[in-house]
Amino acid sequence: MAIIVNRPKLTFVERCYLPSILAGLAITWKHLKRALFKKGIVTMQYPEEKWDANMPEWYRGAPTLVSDEHGKDRCVACQLCEFICPPRAITIKPMEIPEGDQWRKVEKRPEEFDIDMARCIYCGLCEEVCPEQAIYLRKDYSITGLNRAEMVHDKKTLYKLGGVMKGLVFKWNELK
Amino acid sequence: MDTVKILHFLTTPWVFLLWTSFLKSFIFLNLTIIVVSVTVFAERKVSALIQDRVGPNRVGIPLTLFGAKKDSFFWGLGQMVADPIKLLTKENFVPAGVNKFYFWLAPKLVMIPPILILAVLPFGSTLFGIPMTIAEMNVGVLYIFAISSLSVYGITLAGWASNSKFPFIGGIRSSSQMISYELALGLSVVPIFMICGSLNLNEIVDWQIKNGWLVSPYWPKGFELSLLLHPSDLIHALVAGLSIQRFALWIPLLISFIIFLVAIFAETNRLPFDLPEAEQELVGGYHTEYASMNFALFFLGEYAAMFAGSGAIVSLFLGGWSCPLIPDGSHGWFWGLVNIGVFFVKVSLMLLFMIWVRWTLPRFRYDQLMKLGWLGFFPIALGNIFLTALILAFIHH
Ligand code: SF4
Ligand code: SF4
C-alpha cells in the first residue's frame, strides 16, 4: 500500500529561505562564540586527555597472556588460538616441560609466543577459544612501532601487558 | 651619470606604468596567496569552533628538539605552512586512463581566472601617487563576469578528462550550475550601473565615497570628525544625507546585494552550492582523481575565487577601500597603506562570512538550485532593474 507523506505547506516567508538561514547563522554564531572562549568544547585533546577510565569491562584492546594469582603462567601451548586467529597473527613454538619441573604434568608450555599486532584485528576469538583462560584482550589500544618487527609482541611483552588476572578457574594445582 | 639616466628611463610614462604594474601584480598576487593560506586555516579553525571542536592546534615550533621544556604551538598557526608543504611534497599521481593533456590543463584553467579578476579590483586608493589598481578598466565589472565564468571550463574539463564517473557528474553539475547563476549574477549589478553611471570599479568606489556605501540607506553628507565640535554643522550634515531617492533606492540595492552575494557563493562553488564537489555524494567531485600540486591548484583556485568574489562584493557594495573618516592616499603614503588595510579587512570579514555560511547551511539539492536560479533570482533581478529605473525616473532628490 502506498504511504502518502504529506509535505507541510510552507508559508511564503518559509519559502524565502532567508529567515531560516538567518536563524541558522545565529545558532552557529552562538557556538562559535562559546567555543572561542574554550567553553562547551566536546572533543578531547588525545594524548594529554584520555577516556581510559570510562572504558567498559569488555573492551577489546590488545590480546595479552595472563598469569594467575598463584604465579602460574596459564598458557599450555595447545595452539588453538593460533589456529582460530583469522588473520593468523599468532605464532606459537611449543616446548615440552622438562622432567623435574613443578608443572611437569602440564606437559607443554610455549617456548615462544608471538602476536603480530600489525595483523591482529582485535576480534577476540583467541580469548574465546582458549581452554585455559590464558589469553585475554586487555585495554591497551595504542600499540605503536616504527617497523614491522617492533609491532610483534613476544612472550615477555605479552605477559607483561597481561599481568596477573585474579579469579580464574584454579585448574592446575598440586592435588590435581 | 648612469643613475640619472636610469631614473629618467624609469619615469618615462610607459616604462613607469610597466614596472609599477609588475610590482603591484607581484605584491598583490603574493598577498592573495598569503590570504588564501590564512583562509584555509581560518576555514578549519572556524569550522571546528562552530562544531564545538578545537581545530588544528598542534603545528608549531618543536622547541623540545632544541632543548626547551615545552613545545610552542602558537595556536596551531604553523598549520598554514604545513598544509602547503604537504601538498608540495606529495607524489603527483596521475591515474591510468585519464586524458593526460586535459587532465594536466584543467587545474590551471581553474586557478587562472580568479587571479585574472584580481587585476581590476581597486585594493587601495593611491600610494606615492600610484593608483592601487593593477589595471584600471572602464569595463571592469563586465571583465569580471567574462573572466569568472571561464573557470567553469576548467572544472568541466577536469571532470571529463578524469575519465571516471564521480568527477564527470561533478563537471556536468558545475556547468549546469553556472548557466543558472550567471544570468542572475550579471543582472543583479545592473542597478548599480544605473545609479553610478559607470562600469569602472574605481569610479563605483569613488561614487560610494561621495554618496555612501551602496548597501546603506542613509549617509551623512560631508561628515568629518571635526564636525562633532560644531553641533549645528553636524546636524546639517546629518540632515543633508537624508534623501527620499536614496532611501527608495535602498530597496533594489539590497535585493541586488543579496542576489549578488548568493550568486557569488554559487560562482565560487561554496556551500550551500558546492554541488560540483559534494564530498558526501561525489567523493570529491571534479577533483576526485587529482593529487598533490594539481589538487592544490584547484584548492588555490577555489580560495582565490572566494577572495576575488569577496573583493568584488566589497568594491561594488561595501565601499571598496574607503572607510568613513579615513582620508585617501593623496594625504600621504600612510593613509594609502591604511586604505589597503581597510580593503583587506573588509575582504577578510567577507571571507569569514562565507566560511560561517558554509558551516551553517546544508547543501541545496540539484533541482532546487536550478529552480532558485531560474525561477527565483532571474525574475527578481530582472524586476529589480525596472524598479530601479522607476525610482530613478520618478523620485528626485
Ligand atoms: S584478537 Fe583475533 S586477530 Fe587478534 S590475536 Fe586474537 S584471534 Fe588473532
Ligand atoms: S593461549 Fe590458550 S589457546 Fe592459545 S596456546 Fe595458550 S592455552 Fe592454547
Q: Whose CA is nearest to atom 2 of ligand 1?
A: A123
Q: What is the pLDDT of residue A90?
A: 92
Other beta carbons within 10 Å of B270: 21
Every domain of chain A and the residues it spans: 56-162
* Whole-number Å distance between alpha carbons of A152 and B153: 52
Q: What is the pLDDT of residues B327-375, one digit of tens each?
A: 776 677 777 788 888 888 888 898 899 888 888 888 888 888 888 888 8
Cβ B373 vs Cβ B180: under 8 Å: yes
Residue A88 pLDDT greater than 90, yes or no: yes
Which tens digit of pLDDT belongs to each residue from A89-116? 999 999 998 888 888 888 888 999 999 9
Q: Considering CB atoms only, which of B50, B54, B361 is closest to A31?
A: B50
For the residues B118-134, what does the mean pLDDT come to? 76
* Residue A159 Cα to chain centre, angstroms: 16
State residue B283's pLDDT score.
Answer: 75
Identify the pLDDT of residue B282. Answer: 78
Residue-level pLDDT at A80: 93
The ligand placed nearest to the CA atom of residue A171 is 2
- Residue A115: what pLDDT? 92
The reply to whether residue A42 touches residue B360, judged by beta carbons under 8 angstroms, is: no
Residue A95: predicted pLDDT: 92
Report d(CA B298, CA B290) in Å as an integer. 9
Ligand 1 centroid to A12 CA: how many Å? Answer: 60
Quote the CA–CA distance of A14 and A4 in Å, as a whole number: 23
- pTM strictly above 0.90: no
Give me the residue spans of the domains in chain B: 93-394
DSSP string computed for B309-353: HHHHHHHHHS-TT--TT---GGG-HHHHHHHHHHHHHHHHHHHHH
pLDDT at A123: 92
Of A115, A111, A39, the C-alpha closest to A75 is: A111
Residue located via cell numbers 546544508? B362
What mean pLDDT is predicted for residues A119-129?
92
Spatial CB neighbours of B291, under 8 Å, sequence gap ≥ 6: B90, B91, B92, B93, B94
What does the DSSP 8-state code read for residue A109?
Answer: E
The residue whose CB lies within 8 Å of the most ligand 2 atoms, and thus the one to mutate among A74, A93, A135, is: A135
Q: Mind listing the pLDDT tens digit for each residue in A35-75?
A: 888 777 888 888 888 888 888 888 898 999 998 888 788 88
Q: What is the pLDDT of residue A54?
A: 85
Per-residue pLDDT at A35: 83
Q: Please report the pLDDT score of residue B13 as a whole number.
A: 76
Centroid of ligand 1 to alpha carbon of A85 (angstroms): 5
User: How does the average pLDDT of chain B come out, rounded?
Assistant: 81
Residues A56-162, CATH architecture:
2-Layer Sandwich (3.30)
User: Would you say residue A87 has pLDDT above 90?
Assistant: yes
The residue contributing the CA closest to ligand 1 atom 6 is A126
> How many Cα atoms within 13 Å fall on the side-chain side of residue B326?
19
Instruction: Give A146's pLDDT tier (boundaries 50, 70, 90).
Output: very high
Answer yes or no: is pLDDT of B268 > 90: no
Q: Region A78-91: what's the mean pLDDT? A: 93
In this predicted structure, the answer to whether residue B155 has a pLDDT above a threshold of 70 is yes
* pLDDT for the residue B139: 80
With a CB cutoff of 8 Å and minimum separation 6, the contacts of B346 are B314, B318, B319
CA of B291 to the centre of ligand 1 (A): 36
A12-21, B38-47, B258-267: which range is least confident on average? A12-21
Closest alpha carbon to B108 in B72, B60, B146, B153: B153
Tens-place pLDDT, residues B40-98 = 888 888 888 888 888 888 777 777 677 666 666 677 777 888 888 888 888 888 888 88
Which pLDDT score is estimated for B185? Answer: 86
**What is the C-alpha separation between B39 and B234, in angstroms, rounded?**
40
Enumerate the β-bridge partners of residue A95: A109
Top pLDDT among B337 and A155 is at A155
ipTM of the complex: 0.74
Q: What are phi and psi of A153, to 5 degrees?
A: -90, 125
Closest by CA position to B211, among listed B220, B202, B199: B220
What pLDDT shows up at residue A89?
92
Interchain proximity B52–A24, CB inside 8 Å: no
Closest-CA distance, B163 to chain A, in angstroms, reads 35
What's the A136 CA to ligand 1 centre distance in angstroms?
10
Residue in the block written with cell 551623512 = B220
Whole-angstrom CA distances from B245 to B217, B241, B334, B395 are 10, 11, 36, 6
pLDDT (0 to 100) of residue A85: 93
Instruction: List the single residue in B48, B52, B360 with the smallest CB-CB distance to A24.
Output: B360
Report the distance separating Cα A74 and Cα A165, nearest Å.
10
B185-230: pLDDT as tens digits: 888 888 888 888 888 888 888 788 777 777 777 776 666 666 666 7
| CB-based contact, A25 to chain B, within 8 Å | yes
Q: Cβ of B49 and A25 within 8 Å?
A: no
pLDDT at A149 over 80: yes
pLDDT exceeds cutoff 80 at B170: yes
A24 and B CB contact within 8 Å: yes
pLDDT given at position B241: 66
